[in-house]
Chains A and B, each alone.
Chain A
């Protein structure tokens, strides 16, 4: 409801800009539109998107970027994007999962405008999609946590227990156990991607149960990192690599999306008329995922180990190579097999060493 009100206001503002005089400015080399589901100041998902788009803007002289925040995952988003097209936008980044259908509708109506959607699957000559491959990338985060923990207990706050999120937890625990066989990961599910009060309570509950490092898969890591710091517990971030500044003293490292290079290449392909729709998924070492800078508490040998682990993942190491046993002792991935790609959404179990129930 709120979001639709704001989106209406945004749309009205866009319309006002469109009607205003623009003649004074030089014609931009390319006008790119971007819609965000939340605020770009969230230290999380939307921040990571914003950083990528800013990098694209820096890389291409004369590029004009039109943005709208808090755009709901409803037909409102279609109106906001339509407003952007009215202003001459030739490339639109629809950055939230629920924007997919609305962006796709517009792609059919405007064959001369190109669309890139984050996280979806739809394809058209002028519609592609992209996302970071997160699961294996969590493995080095686990290495960092496994080395840094003194209690051998790690805490993981999960917003919604979808398969991809459980896969993140699993790779994290596998990484931790690779350097510290005693390391366990306790999981708390809050039931929403952005319920701040529950996130704070979940972090506290994990610390009560002995966790000295807390990490998360929610929209914005801000509340959890600060709640952990208030009880002298360390944090590993996710979504944006900028989250360190929330609690520099208690920051270990983090995993973030880095989309700048892909966005730059996409914009250039639109300018050159060579846009090719594709379903792009990239992990560590491939461009779309990166390890955040280390906090001051992390000693050099741990940094070396984590960096080496990240490089290994970048070179194709897959933690989900059998045999992989779940936390009830059942072999889920037999020896000789490996899970990858689309299978990352299929997790409904936790690996050995995770304390929690998946379903």
Chain B
């Protein structure tokens, strides 16, 4: 292993893990309120398309991120209305949201295919030689640097604030939360708005920082990987950091190994991230799960 290879694997894991982390953190908050959102992929695509469009129109990637976050939250509030107020089945509503997101993002992104943007600027640690390993390891966009604080903030929000206590109570037992004077509906709306915000940012990172392109369906299933990561992280934002790096790294690893000339078939190489996913789920499966919110996926029909 040469140093450039290791630096490349780490930098690649951080870059592609970032959008996974934002998406996973959002989904954790939603699931802590008892709502499974299978539409995350659609939310990410809406974020990617609107973020890219807003960046192309205004010339500011920061406005692009803001637009993506707002759009993600708005789309997730539609989902909240369907599953919380209309009490629809969460799995069906989530899949509908995904298809809605795929279609809407294609529609919004269409005029912006091929648009040129100057993406989110990279901030380097000063004094590092350009092109060197240090510069490769410490030259990221601001969303990468903000990902870790966001994870810590989310952890603090869930486990150290009054709102987090309400959130967890609603996720464990909406009826008990209601009896304690909370409004499960309101808490769930808030949680899903927060989840949509982060999901939108996750998508925007892919289009504005990672690829500088909008292409239909460009999240390519990463929304679903994020949902799997929630289980891997045991609904804990701190574990999500490790999970996002691991899964982000798996994809980068095989591309790096190919570039380094590893004597392995490219067909096997392209399977490695999924093999790793299976392996992790198998190993994780041996432990009894008790971290899942008790009311996850159940429709709360009220107590009257």
Residues of A within 8 A of B (CB): 1-3, 5-6, 38-39, 41-43, 47, 70, 155, 161, 186-192, 194-202, 204-206, 208-211, 220, 222-223, 226-227, 230-232, 245-246, 355-359
Contact = CB atoms under 8 A, between A and B. Distances in A.
- Identify whether the interface residues of B are mostly helix, strand, loop, or mixed: helix
Contacts of A358: 266
Contacts of A357: 262-266
Nearest to A158: B266
Interface residues of B, number: 49
A353 to B, nearest CB: 12
A327 B150 CA distance: 48
A205 B110 contact: no
17 contacts: A2-B216, A42-B114, A189-B266, A190-B270, A197-B206, A201-B252, A205-B252, A205-B260, A208-B4, A209-B5, A220-B215, A222-B213, A223-B212, A226-B212, A245-B116, A357-B263, A357-B265
Interface in B1-51: 4-5, 7-8, 11-12, 15-16
A161 B218 CA distance: 21
Contacts of B264: 357
Interface stretch (B60-68, B99-107, B151-159, B172-180): B99-107
Contacts of B255: 188, 190, 198, 201-202, 205
Nearest to B216: A2
Contact of B256 (A1, A208, A223, A226): A208
B93 interface: no
B275 to A, nearest CB: 14
Given A195-B220, A200-B211, A220-B215, A1 B102 contact: yes
Contacts of B99: 1
B266 A208 contact: no
B213 A196 contact: yes
Contact of A196 (B122, B215, B251, B256): B215
Given A196-B218, A246-B116, 11 more contacts: A6-B103, A47-B114, A186-B259, A191-B266, A191-B270, A197-B211, A202-B255, A204-B15, A208-B5, A357-B263, A357-B264
A199 B269 CA distance: 15
Given A189-B258, A205-B8, A359-B265, A2 B213 contact: no
B149 interface: no
Contacts of A201: 12, 15-16, 251-252, 255
* Most chain A CB atoms below 10 A, which of B11, B212, B263: B212
Interface string B127-141: 000110000100000
